[in-house]
Structure 1
Amino acid sequence: MGNLGMSELVIILLIVIVIFGASRLPQLGKGLGEGIRNFKGSLKSGGEEDPEKESEQKTST
């Protein structure tokens, strides 16, 4: 059920074009790309900040 073939992807793309229109697709792609980039950046910076916060909490108690 999780396998999508080429025909299913084409049908999904056509439905997206009908719903949003061809002129809004670049804007949606750009927004999605920025969201993914911000998410990855927060994961990278979040991993670096956690040990510092834990060490600060240990020293303050």
Structure 2
Amino acid sequence: MGGIGIWQLLIVLLIIILLFGGKKLRTLGSDLGSALRGFKKEMSDGETPSVEKKDADFTDTKTEQKDKTNT
């Protein structure tokens, strides 16, 4: 008791099909599939970065140039 049985799931599925229609659900499924494929592709591309990232350079170049000219 308290668990969801197969009959409850079938009734919920039937209500969803009646509300949205078969064509709308098919379109929704294909959109979801393409979104998942894109997500997986981006995740696998993230493991091998194609762009080299540099750390920020926080040195003050004007101060360094003044120090070089004063010496």
TM over 0.5: yes
* Cα displacement (A) at 1:26: 1.1
TM-score (norm 1): 0.60
Q: Percent identity?
A: 33
Change (3 A) 1:49 1:8: farther
Mark the runs of 5 or more structure 1 residues left unpaired by the alignment.
none
Pairs aligned (count): 55
Distance (whole Å) between structure 1 residues aligned to residue 11 and residue 26 of structure 2: 19
Q: Bigger radius of gyration, 1 or 2?
A: 2
Mark the runs of 5 or more structure 2 residues left unpaired by the alignment.
58-71
> 1:1-61 to 2 correspondence within 5 Å?
5-49=5-49, 53=52, 56-57=53-54
The Cα RMSD (Å) is 2.7
4+ long deviations beyond 4 Å: none
